[in-house]
Amino acid sequence: GSRVDYVDLTYHGHEFIPSPESTFESGMVIEEGYYGDNDFVDVEKARVIVEIVGGLCDKRLGRSTVHMKIVGCDWNKVTKPQLVDLETFTQSGPRQIYNSVPAHLLDIQVREIRDRDNGNIEHISNFFQGTQPIVRTIDLRDTNAADVAIEKAEGSENPTNTSKGITEEEELKGDTRNSLETTKKDEEEGMELVRFQYDGKLMLEFETT
C-alpha cells in the first residue's frame, strides 16, 4: 500500500491539525479498507474589534453581551427557544479587541445592554435585538492581510537617502512612524472592525413664558 506522512490542506493559509477523534498518524500505510476517521480541524485564529456606541460621539451605552458564531455552522447558534447555552462575551467599554476568535466568516450581534445595577436597558437592547436582530458579518479568513499591509508600508518607507543630515533623518523617521500609525488604524477600521451604533430618539422640551 501507499504511505502517508502528512496531509497538505490549503485554505487561506490556515493551520490544520488532526481532530481529537482522528485516527491519522504520520507514516500510516494505506491499504484496502475504510479510512473515514481521519478528520482535520482548522485551528487558525483571528482578531476582531467590536464597537458598541451611542451616536457619532461613541458614548458608552452600558455593559454589553456580545455573541459570535461562524456563518453556516451550528456551533453557538441562536435558536428559539434556546436549547443550548450560548457562549458570549461581556464588553464593558464602547470598544474592545477580541483575540483568538475563529478565522472565518463570523456573525456578530449584541444580545443585551445592562446598566451599572445589572438591569437590562430594554429600549437599547430591543433596538439591537427586537423582532429582527441586527447582525454584523465580517470576513476574518485572511488573518494576515492587515499585517502584510503594514510590513509593505514599513519596507517602502524606510529612509534610503544617506546624504541627509541628522535632523532631517529624525524628521523622516517621525513621519514614517506617523504614517505607520495611520496604516495600523486603517487596518483596524477596515479589516477587523464591526460597529453597532444606537442613536436614540431626539426629545425636545419647550418652556413658554
Q: Among 25-29, 107-111, 112-116, which stretch is predicted with the lowest mean pLDDT?
A: 25-29
Burial (CB count <10 Å: 0-12, 13-18, 19+), residue 77? middle
Q: Which of 23-27, 81-85, 186-190 has the highest mean pLDDT?
A: 81-85
Q: What is the pTM of this model?
A: 0.72
* C-alpha separations of 68 from 14, 103, 107 in Å: 20, 12, 6
